[in-house]
Structure formats: structure tokens, C-alpha cells
A and B are shown apart, each in its own frame.
Chain A
Amino acid sequence: EPEVTQTPSHQVTQMGQEVILRCVPISNHLYFYWYRQILGQKVEFLVSFYNNEISEKSEIFDDQFSVERPDGSNFTLKIRSTKLEDSAMYFCASKQESSYNSPLHFGNGTRLTVT
């Protein structure tokens, strides 16, 4: 069964550094998402992406964050200058259809640790 893949599985970075989290969505999917989960807290929506542009973003997704689909297969989340509070598990997800009942397929997540 096709899967969403995320790399790396764990990323450690120093405060102030830029990080890029990578995702390869399922190949025929058109809608892409990033979520994050700070340890012990809820899984939170960050951003959705369709047709090469952001369709929706949460208040968490400030100017330090950006997303890109550089080559038609990868979907990346960039944090420009990481802060300690960015430490979290980041999940990428994709789905095929726009219907709100269409299921999201999630990757295994990237654990980001900012020191």
C-alpha cells in the first residue's frame, strides 16, 4: 500500500538554525498538510497546500515557517530560525480528494529537537 514517507526520522538542531523537514506524499494525492505535536500536547494543524500554494494555515504557522513542493514529489517544511519551542513531532499528511470525508494519510513523523 502506498505510504507517505518522511525524512529524517529525528533531527537535532541548535536554536537559530534553519531546518528543512522532508515529505514524499502518496503519488496521486493532491492535498498536502503539516501537523505537529509538542510532547504531551495535542496534534495541531499547521498548514495545508494545494495546487502549489497554501490553502490554509494556522496561527502557529508564522513567518518563520514556509512550505514548498520543489519538484512535484517532495513536500517540505522549512523553519527559518528554530526556537526551543519548535521541538515537536512533525507529521506530514496527504489526501487524494477535496472531500472533507476523504481520509488523510500520515507519515511516520520527524522528531525535531532544538537545543
Chain B
Amino acid sequence: GNSVTQMEGPVTLSEEAFLTINCTYTATGYPSLFWYVQYPGEGLQLLLKATKADDKGSNKGFEATYRKETTSFHLEKGSVQVSDSAVYFCALRVSTGANNLFFGTGTRLTVIP
């Protein structure tokens, strides 16, 4: 089946620290991979995506590389800011069958000054 497993939180970092949030997946077919972010009081926003193996998605200093060999899509940022505090969701969508997203449980990140 299709599923996403992501690192459990919460994660607390100091400003300017390096961030990694792990995400691995299982999928039938050839998935596209996504990271969504939910800032306090807001909806889920697409942060970045990658549609095929070895693609790197990037946005706002965040990056994630689609690794087919390890079925992973880890989110990284070199220097986090207080404004990055949010819940981050890894998700996948497969190209056949269900036209919907499969999400992980979300990882809450808190960045302290």
C-alpha cells in the first residue's frame, strides 16, 4: 500500500541550527513527494515537491531530495529561524489509482531565539 512515515516530534532547535526531518515512504507505482507546512492558525501550505527520483525540491531555504534507493524524502534547512516554527507534513501521491495525498503524522518544529 501507500504510506508515509516521518520523524516524530516535537523538535526544538535554537535559531540558526541545522534542521533535518526524516521522511520515508512506501508506494505502489511512481509517487510524487511533497512537504506541506502548517503555521499556527493557518492551513496546510505546499512547501516543496519532487516528482521523480533524484529531483530536489526547494523553497524558503528548505530542501528535500527524492531518494528512490532509500525511499526517503528528508527535509533539511541549513539555518532555521523563529518564523519556521510550524508543523511539517510529508506526503505522497501516486500516479495511478487514487488521486489523493497520503500524509505522515506531522512533525512540530519549535525554533527558539
**Among B32, B95, B99, B102, contact of A55 (Cβ-Cβ < 8 Å):** B99
Supposing A42-B105, A45-B100 touch, asked if A100 and B49 sit within 8 A by C-beta, the answer is no
Is A54 on the interface with B (CB-CB < 8 A)?
no
Interface size class of A (residues with CB under 8 A): 20 to 34
Instruction: Give the Cβ gap from B108 to chain A, nearest Cβ, in Å.
Output: 11
Interface residues on chain B, number (Cβ under 8 Å): 25
Residues of A at the B interface (CB closer than 8 Å) are 3-4, 6, 31, 33, 35, 37, 40-45, 48, 55-56, 91, 93, 98, 100-101, 103-109
**Among A43, A100, A108, contact of B103 (Cβ-Cβ < 8 Å):** A43
Q: Can you list 17 contacts pairing A with B, beta carbon distance less than 8 Å? A: A4-B43, A6-B43, A35-B101, A42-B106, A43-B44, A43-B91, A43-B106, A45-B100, A45-B102, A48-B100, A91-B44, A101-B32, A101-B51, A101-B93, A103-B46, A107-B43, A108-B41
Q: Whole-angstrom distance between the alpha carbons of A105 and B43 in the complex?
A: 9
**Among B46, B100, B103, contact of A33 (Cβ-Cβ < 8 Å):** B100
Instruction: Give the Cβ gap from A17 to chain B, nearest Cβ, in Å.
Output: 25
Residues of A within 8 A of B103 (CB): 35, 42-44
